[in-house]
Structure 1
Amino acid sequence: MPINIIIGLPFILLGILFLFLAKRNAKRAEESLAWLSTRGVITSSMLASFDSDDSPTTYQPKVEYEYTVANQSYTGKRIAFGIAGSSSEAAARKVVLQYAIGSAVEVFYNPAKPSDAVLERSAATSNKVFWIMGGVFIVAGLLTLLI
């Protein structure tokens, strides 16, 4: 098998995966606009950081909340659809401060599956990165196939 195919196809497949994830997150965010809401309370809110030798530190707000639907208690961890990570510690810390422990929040939940909940009916900021990376990987893969 030619080397350009061996290299190009994985790039294209990875690009398709990124685009699939971005599309799924956007679709879930759109669907959540029809979800019901209830009051909840933040039970945990902290900033996590992930270090890697070959990339900058990533900061991710980790938030947990409790809410009740039809006298059933639930715990949620999703802020928005997708990964809520950032290379900016200040941006991630701002989210953590927005969801301080003990604060009341509006929780949006799927009426068909109340355990499926979110605090923000939108795709996470990482979703933009998924769209961009998907396009970049597909273009890189196609260029590799043409060489």
Structure 2
Amino acid sequence: MVFAALSLFAGAALVWLSLWLKLRSDQCLHWPSVTGRITESRVDDEHLEMMKPILRYHYEVGGQIYVGFRASFSGYGVSRTAMDAVVKPYDQGRMVRVYYNPRNPASAVLDNTAQSDWLYWFMFGVGFFILAAYLTLR
């Protein structure tokens, strides 16, 4: 019964995450934009098991300076090649268009047209729901 409850919880969390990603991905298509500057763009591979793309940019909205880190609401994969592809278009010092959430300017992306990987997470969540049902009914 514990595994069924954990599967149900995992399924709910993943479905919630997928819906949040879908909503944000759709919303950012309509976000206003400002010009920003890339301040850091690299792949952190110091510890290969924790390798990740590092992207930071500064932008100003309403006289306040913000620091962003998200290229888009899409995932980036786990290979070095996939992570290099995330940071490659954003050389350090480059001026870029930053799309920000008008309700929360601290939330921003550089690519507002990239499709999120929400369906991937949704399917995993549904899989956990099915597992929870199986464990409960057997």
> 1:146 maps to what in 2?
137
Counterpart residue type for residue 74 of structure 1: Y
> 2:57 maps to what in 1?
65
2: CA distance between counterparts of 1:39 and 1:132?
Answer: 36
User: How far apart are 1:128 and its partner, in Å?
Assistant: 4.1
The yes-or-no answer on 1:14 pairing with 2:6 is: no
TM-score, length basis structure 2: 0.85
TM-score, length basis structure 1: 0.80
Q: 116-125 vs 34-43, which deviates more? A: 116-125
Aligned 8 A contact 1:58 1:87 in 2: no
Cα gap change, 1:58 to 1:140, in 2 (>3 Å): farther
1: CA distance between counterparts of 2:76 and 2:44?
Answer: 9
> 2:95 maps to what in 1?
104
Q: Percent identity?
A: 27
Counterpart residue type for residue 25 of structure 1: L
Cα gap change, 1:48 to 1:129, in 2 (>3 Å): farther
Aligned 8 A contact 1:16 1:134 in 2: yes
2:88 is paired with a residue whose SS is helix
> 2:70 maps to what in 1?
78
2: CA distance between counterparts of 1:66 and 1:113?
Answer: 15
> 2:78 maps to what in 1?
87
> 1:54 maps to what in 2?
none
Please, which runs of 5 or more residues in structure 1 have no aligned partner?
52-56
1:100 is paired with a residue whose SS is coil
2:4 is paired with a residue whose SS is helix
Please, which runs of 5 or more residues in structure 2 have no aligned partner?
none
Counterpart residue type for residue 68 of structure 2: G
